[in-house]
């Protein structure tokens, strides 16, 4: 009987040599006369162990990693196919790896377990159960379930998903749309990509349920152009779902329809903002629209449109299958369910961590991240992408909750957590925030377009000790103007990292070589 092995087919694993590892395994097995079945699964999200090779045993899967191509022969020598190995790369039972075992995986329950393109695999692990239930419900009942779950937008804005869907459901129109924001541009984020590369049918199911809920028959995935593998896998999954009746003109013989297409983004950070995304999707330059009207009333092509992030839509199948209350049972306060946190930057154990809201930042960085990669003391952490505040040690015990973070002037955003050790120059990080905005601004509103450029110049004058006190006051006023006057969060949030440096790391603005630290940009 053939032994089944799993080698991930996912961007991080591929970048670390997973294809060559898979090739070596097949070659080595042939030379030794070993009977194997190689499955290219998704990643478990434990980036620090990639490529993670798993061997199926009667007691469950056993993991080895990170495996390099030159390790393969030694693994065979050690008897890993027979589960006898004491090889140094052995991690024991995959499900018992502490990094994985301590998580609460609801949205990411399947990643790394299934063959991403196998519908049969997806169904075996509870796939499409939410859709099957939704097809038996009235649209309002679907919306009510999502509302009861407490799900809020996982893209960063944290707007209640049920309210958004209710608005679109109530809007009279002959045509409505579901648009998935998959333009994952924040520094240190990769959770959207993991959904699309490792569990694509989850997103398809979530978007189809959204269509049934609000009366939309057409969906679009606006995909980050830098994600070629996700593009390939999503298109293949959509084609297979259509052939199996889970998409198209007659969903599971119900007489209901929903069609889905992928559209590549234009490579602009600003197109992660929902109205700019809609402009780009319509074939125009990605400029922010003034609101009102809201996209829920006048969105894509002027029609009522649900615009949700990948993770928001990916949470929906669980909610419909298990019930809104089952999802709401996780979390704290108004932050219900789980949050996909992505550990990156100067971190020993980077990867995806799905936890119920309420764990602290310190727990995440120490218990999961295991400190810095450099081994030096951790000095600062940026949460929520390049527009998020830099948090000092005094704030690391803050619970990861939307309201708790807002209370300290921070944002959870899309869950990206970028860590910095004590060599970081925080003055340079403040400069980087303004520079990033100046480059990525759509240019539609003056506070963002001009403010970021003036901010960059002002920081340079401060660091050159040119009329330091006057320019510090000017920078503070400029930040307030950008927060209050910008048309969208691009300019409105750019001051957050700058203000956090002014408050918590003021000494780093003394000069370009402050504290002897070197530049360590967040992107």
Task: Provide the whole-model pTM.
Answer: 0.94
pLDDT of residue 511: 62
Q: Rg for the chain (alpha carbons), in Å? A: 24
How far does the chain reach from its first CA to its final CA, in angstroms? 48
Share of the chain above pLDDT 70, in %: 97
Quick one: average pLDDT of 311-317? 98
Tell me if 45 sits within 8 A of 112, measured CB to CB: yes
The per-residue pLDDT for 518 is 42
**275-295 average pLDDT score:** 94
What is the pLDDT at residue 266?
Answer: 83
Q: What is the pLDDT of residue 520?
A: 39
58-78 CB burial, b ≥16 within 10 A, e <16: eeebbbbbbbebebbeebbeb
pLDDT digits (tens, 9 = 90+) for 498-511: 999 999 999 998 76
State mean pLDDT over 201-224.
98
Q: What is the largest CA-CA distance in the chain?
A: 77
- CA distances to 47, 237, 359, 399 from 349, in Å: 7, 31, 18, 21
Arithmetic mean of pLDDT over the chain: 94
Structure confidence by residue, pLDDT tens digits, 167-198:
999 999 999 999 999 999 998 999 999 999 99
- Of 20 and 84, more confident: 20
User: What are the tokens at 152?
Assistant: 């809020």
Helix (H, G, I), strand (E, B) or coil at 487: coil
- CA within 13 Å, CB half, 126: 14
With 80 as the cut, is the pLDDT of residue 300 above it? yes
Q: How far is CA 363 from CA 103, 397, 512, in A?
A: 12, 8, 33
For CA atoms 88, 93, 94, 97, the dihedral sign is negative
């Amino acid at each position: 009987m053939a032994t089944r092995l799993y080698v991930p087919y996912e961007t991080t694993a591929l970048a670390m040599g997973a294809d060559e590892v898979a090739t070596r395994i097949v070659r080595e097995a042939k030379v030794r006369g070993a009977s194997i079945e190689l499955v290219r699964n998704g990643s478990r999200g434990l980036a620090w162990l990639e490529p993670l090779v798993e061997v199926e045993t009667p007691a469950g899967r056993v993991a080895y990693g990170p495996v390099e191509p030159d390790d393969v022969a030694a693994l065979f020598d050690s008897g890993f196919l027979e589960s006898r190995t004491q090889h140094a790369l052995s991690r024991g039972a995959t499900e018992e790896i502490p990094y994985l075992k301590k998580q609460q995986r609801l949205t990411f329950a399947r990643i790394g377990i299934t063959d991403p393109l196998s519908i049969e695999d997806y169904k075996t692990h509870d796939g499409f159960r939410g859709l099957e239930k939704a097809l038996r419900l009235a649209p309002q009942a679907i919306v009510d379930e999502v509302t009861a779950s407490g799900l809020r937008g996982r893209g960063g804005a944290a707007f209640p998903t049920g309210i958004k869907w209710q608005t679109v459901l109530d809007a009279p129109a002959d045509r409505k749309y579901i648009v998935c924001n998959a333009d994952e541009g924040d520094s240190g984020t990769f959770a959207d990509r993991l959904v699309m590369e490792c569990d694509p049918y989850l997103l398809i199911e979530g978007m189809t349920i959204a269509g049934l809920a609000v009366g939309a028959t057409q969906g679009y995935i606006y995909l980050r152009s830098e994600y070629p593998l996700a593009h390939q896998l999503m298109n293949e999954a959509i084609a297979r779902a259509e052939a199996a009746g889970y998409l198209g003109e007659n969903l599971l013989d119900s007489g209901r329809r929903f069609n889905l297409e992928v559209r590549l983004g234009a490579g602009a950070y600003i197109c992660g903002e929902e109205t700019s995304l809609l402009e780009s999707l319509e074939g125009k330059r990605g400029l922010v629209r003034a609101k009102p009207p809201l996209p829920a009333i006048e969105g894509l092509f002027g029609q009522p449109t649900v615009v949700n992030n990948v993770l928001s839509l990916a949470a929906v199948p669980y909610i419909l299958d298990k019930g809104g209350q089952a999802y709401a049972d996780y979390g704290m306060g108004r932050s219900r369910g789980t949050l996909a946190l992505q550990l990156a930057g100067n971190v020993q154990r980077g990867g995806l961590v799905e936890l119920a809201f309420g764990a602290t930042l310190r727990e995440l960085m120490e218990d999961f991240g295991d400190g810095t990669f450099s081994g030096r003391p951790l000095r600062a952490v940026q949460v929520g992408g390049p527009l998020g505040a830099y948090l000092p040690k005094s704030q690391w015990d803050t619970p990861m909750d939307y309201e708790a973070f807002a209370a300290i002037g921070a944002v959870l955003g899309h869950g990206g957590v970028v860590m910095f050790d004590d060599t970081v120059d925080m003055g340079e990080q403040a400069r980087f925030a303004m520079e990033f905005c100046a480059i990525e601004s759509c240019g539609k509103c003056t506070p963002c377009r001009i403010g970021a450029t003036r901010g960059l110049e002002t920081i340079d004058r401060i660091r050159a000790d040119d009329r330091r006190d006057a320019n510090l006051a000017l920078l503070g006023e400029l930040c307030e103007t950008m927060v209050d006057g910008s048309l969208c969060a691009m300019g409105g949030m750019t001051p957050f990292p700058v203000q956090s440096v002014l408050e918590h790391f003021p000494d780093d603005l003394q000069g370009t070589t402050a504290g002897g630290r070197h530049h360590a940009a967040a992107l």
